[in-house]
Each structure stands twice: as C-alpha cells, then as structure tokens.
C-alpha cells in the first residue's frame, strides 16, 4: 500500500496504467489467429462436435482507491482486487460445472455442478445445483462479480448478504416467474470457516421479460444457524459491518462488533429492477435479525440502495434467469452476444445507499453514500470502471465523511 497526495496527474497516470494493463492482457489473444481479436472471441475454450464447451474461467481486477477529507483514517492503495482462476465445462441445456479459486483472497469462489432436468430426464423439473455457490438473499450479491455496475457492493449488501455456502439448491425458471430454494447443509464453507448451515429461498415475478424491456419484482429470505461445535468454549458471535464502498481498505465506518451468544441470523430482502432500453433502475431493501441466547437481546439491522444507469451507446443491460448477467452473455446457457460497437459500450450510473447498524445499546453506526460511476465495456472481455463516492457516517460521537476516487481495470472470460 502506498500513500499518495490527492492530485489529478496521479489519477490520469493511474487511468493510463489501468488501460495499459487491460490492453496488454488482451494482446496475446489477438496475435493467435485470424479468428480472434482483442475485443471479441479469445482462444480460451474448446467446443466439441456435440456442443460441449470447456475452458478457462478467469477474472482479474486491478483497483485504485484514493481518499480525501478522511481525517487521516484511510490509506490510498492500488493493487489486485481479485484473481480468479478456474475451469468449466458445460453442455447447453444439459449441465454445467465450474471450479474457481481466488488467489488474491486465498479462498474458493464458485465450485459446483448444475443439472438441467429438461436435458437430463426430458422434462423440465427445474435446475439442480450441488456444491459451493452464492446464497440468494441480496440482489447485488448474487450478481456475477464481473457484471456489477459499481466497483463495490452497496452498504446493505456488504453487511447483510451471507456470501457463499456449500449444499444443494433448486431453481424453477419460467419466462415470468423464478423460484429458488437452497439447503446449504455443509458444516463449513470450502475454506473451513463459518461453521453452520442455512436455508434460503428467493422468488421473483417478471411481468415484463423481453430483451431490453424488463420489470422484475422479488422477495428473498434465509435462516442461518450457527454451529460452533468446533469452537470449544468460545460462544458464537455474529458480526455485521461494511466498508465505505471501497474494497482495498480494512476500515469500516459502521460495525456492530462481535454479537456474542448468537444463535441464528434471519435475513430478508425485497428487490426490484426495471430495464427500458439503455435506461435501468434497480433497488433493494435488506434486513438482518440476529437471535441471541444467554439473556442477550436480539439485534436488528437494515438498509437499502437504489441506483439508475444509462448506456450512452444505446445497449440495454442483459437480464436472464432472474438476474442481471454479463454484457457478453444472454440466456441460461450463456450464449455469447457480440457487442453493437467494436469498441464496446459506455455506461454512466448514480447510486444512493444507506445502512443502519444501531439497535438498542449497540451503537454500530449509520452511514449513507452517494456514488457516481462510469463503465467502459471494451468488447466481450475487457472493462474499465471509475467511481466517485461521497460517504457520510455517524457512529456515536464520531463523524467521518470521506470522499473516495476509485478505478478498476478488469479482464474476464
């Protein structure tokens, strides 16, 4: 980590560095044959005669975080944010499987096998997934990490979304309705942390579901039960907190602290998405209730976000199977979409988010953030992002209101 003075020429230099990193990573693929180019099809996978496709699953993100008006509490940083490397295999309409590891965080990402009953038994009884995957409470959380509109998730998503769990889930997908139920029974995650189990469900009604025209209304809920059998005499403790929408800092302006003697965490969410051509609006309300024992009072936290996007180049956000997808994919079998322009799409966005972690005697704090962002999707695999965040926090007698400038260079396939 490096402390930088907050001046514009540093930001310009960093923008050039991000663009150079992105382009240099793509150039080798452009030199491998006439069928491949830096903006389009890369030789990262092989497709068999029966349609089975297998190849590499890579996500690399390089970030810059620069802080000002922060009372010296934050340290500017520029480093890798994510380094996912994995492999996948899929046969459209029948099955898909992936195993992917994040070498930056040193933890597993997705690792599962999914069977599509219509292709396996000849009747559509839903999709069955076995393994390690994202839990469904949190619309932003279940969105692909490569497809997020903003560089970091909103405050309530960070605090409430549970993350990944291991187990089995079932999804029933229809053009105007989606139902997802999961039993994440594995006693720990794949990294040996978070002992416990979770039941979760998500339902969405999509009265309008056409390319470029979507109205999505959803509900989700989960119940996480702690299992601390391996912790000896240490009582279980839940903890809800959030970074100020900047991923390279360990500082949290709002934090419930360790809630000792925690038994369960009940999570609920209400979500909505509207897409009309190049415009979209997305919002979500999230709540978490920690049930405690040994005479400790229960704890409630809640928050919401809403954001709007506009794609200057005219493209619409891609939506399928109840979620927003990567701009290079469409449909449940991830068929590649060629960009409307060889040089990609340009998008601008504004988000407001709010989180309240105060409850009773627990002063976790309140925070609300404004974020403006711009995204440049360079073809199918390259993406540049820039965000500016105004954060406002109040925790007890302490108020910290940093301004944050962020950039990201991303490569993904």
CB proximity list for 357: less than 8 A, separation 6 or greater? 159, 240, 241, 254, 255, 256, 301, 364, 365, 366
Output the pLDDT for position 14.
58
Q: Tell me the backbone φ, ψ of residue 193, rounded to 5 degrees.
A: -110, 175
Question: Token match 């910290």: residue?
Answer: 400
| CATH architecture assigned to 45-57+83-383 | Beta Barrel (2.40)
Helices (H) and strands (E) in the chain, counts: 4, 26
pTM above 0.75, yes or no: yes
At residue 243, the 3 state secondary structure works out as coil
Cα–Cα distance for residue pair 227/131, rounded to 1 Å: 19
Ordered by start, the domain boundaries in the chain are 45-57+83-383
Cα–Cα distance for residue pair 214/353, rounded to 1 Å: 23
| Nearest 10 degrees: Cα torsion 305, 344, 98, 273 | 30
Output the pLDDT for position 233.
65
Helix, strand, coil percentages for the chain (3-state, nearest 5)? 10, 55, 35
CB proximity list for 128: less than 8 A, separation 6 or greater? 114, 115, 117, 168, 169, 170
SS3 for 102-151, per residue? ECCCCEEEEEEEEEEHHHHCCCCCCEEEEEEEECCCCHHHHCCCCCCCCC
Structure tokens at 272: 């909505």
| Geometric angle at alpha carbon 354, from 350 and 359, rounded to 5° | 175
At residue 60, the 3 state secondary structure works out as strand
Per-residue pLDDT of the chain (413 residues; tens, 9 = 90+): 333 444 555 555 555 555 555 544 554 444 444 455 666 678 888 999 999 999 999 999 999 999 999 989 999 999 999 999 999 999 999 999 999 999 999 999 999 999 999 999 999 999 999 999 999 999 999 999 999 999 999 999 999 999 999 999 999 999 999 999 999 998 888 888 888 999 999 999 999 999 999 999 999 999 999 986 655 567 889 999 999 999 999 999 999 999 999 999 999 999 999 999 999 999 999 999 999 999 999 999 999 999 999 999 999 999 999 999 877 666 666 666 666 666 789 999 999 999 999 999 999 999 999 999 999 998 888 999 999 999 999 998 889 999 999 999 999 99
Output the pLDDT for position 116.
95
With 0-12 CB in 10 A as exposed, 13-18 as middle and 19+ as buried, what is 300?
middle
């Amino acid at each position: 980590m490096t402390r930088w003075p907050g001046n514009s020429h540093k930001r310009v230099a960093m923008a050039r560095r991000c663009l150079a990193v992105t382009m240099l990573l793509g150039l080798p693929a452009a030199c491998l044959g006439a069928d491949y180019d830096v903006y389009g099809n890369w030789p990262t996978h092989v497709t068999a005669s029966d349609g089975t496709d297998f190849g590499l699953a890579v996500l690399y993100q390089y970030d810059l975080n620069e802080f000002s008006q922060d009372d010296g509490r934050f340290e500017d940083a520029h480093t890798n944010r994510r380094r996912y490397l994995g492999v996948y295999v899929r046969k459209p309409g029948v099955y898909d499987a992936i195993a992917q590891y994040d070498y930056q965080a040193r933890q597993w990402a997705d690792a599962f096998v999914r069977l599509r009953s219509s292709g396996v038994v000849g009747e559509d009884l839903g999709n069955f997934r076995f393994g390690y995957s994202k839990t469904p409470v949190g619309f932003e959380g279940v969105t692909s990490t490569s497809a997020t509109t903003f560089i970091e998730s909103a405050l309530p998503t960070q605090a409430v979304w549970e993350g990944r769990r291991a187990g089995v889930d079932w999804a029933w997908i229809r053009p105007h309705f989606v139902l997802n139920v999961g039993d994440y029974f594995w006693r720990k995650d794949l990294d040996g942390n978070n002992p416990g189990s979770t039941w979760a469900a998500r339902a969405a009604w999509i009265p309008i579901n056409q390319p470029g025209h979507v109205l999505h209304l959803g509900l989700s809920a989960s119940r996480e039960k702690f299992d601390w059998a391996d912790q000896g005499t240490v009582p279980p403790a839940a903890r809800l907190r959030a970074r100020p929408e900047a991923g390279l800092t360990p500082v949290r302006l709002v934090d419930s602290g360790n809630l000792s003697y925690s038994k369960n965490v009940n999570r609920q969410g209400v979500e909505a998405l509207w897409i009309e051509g190049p415009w979209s609006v997305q919002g979500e309300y999230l709540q978490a209730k920690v049930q405690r024992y040994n005479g400790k009072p229960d704890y409630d936290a809640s928050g919401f976000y809403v954001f709007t996007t506009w794609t200057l180049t005219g493209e619409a956000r891609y939506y399928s199977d109840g979620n927003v997808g990567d701009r290079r994919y469409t449909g449940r079998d991830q068929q590649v979409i060629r960009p409307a322009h060889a040089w990609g799409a340009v998008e601008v966005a504004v988000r407001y988010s709010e989180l309240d972690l105060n409850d009773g005697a627990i002063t976790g704090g309140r925070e609300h953030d404004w974020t403006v962002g711009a995204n440049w999707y360079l073809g199918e695999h390259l993406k540049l992002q820039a965000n500016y965040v105004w954060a406002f926090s109040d925790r007890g007698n302490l108020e910290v209101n940093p301004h944050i400038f962020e950039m990201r260079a991303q490569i993904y396939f």
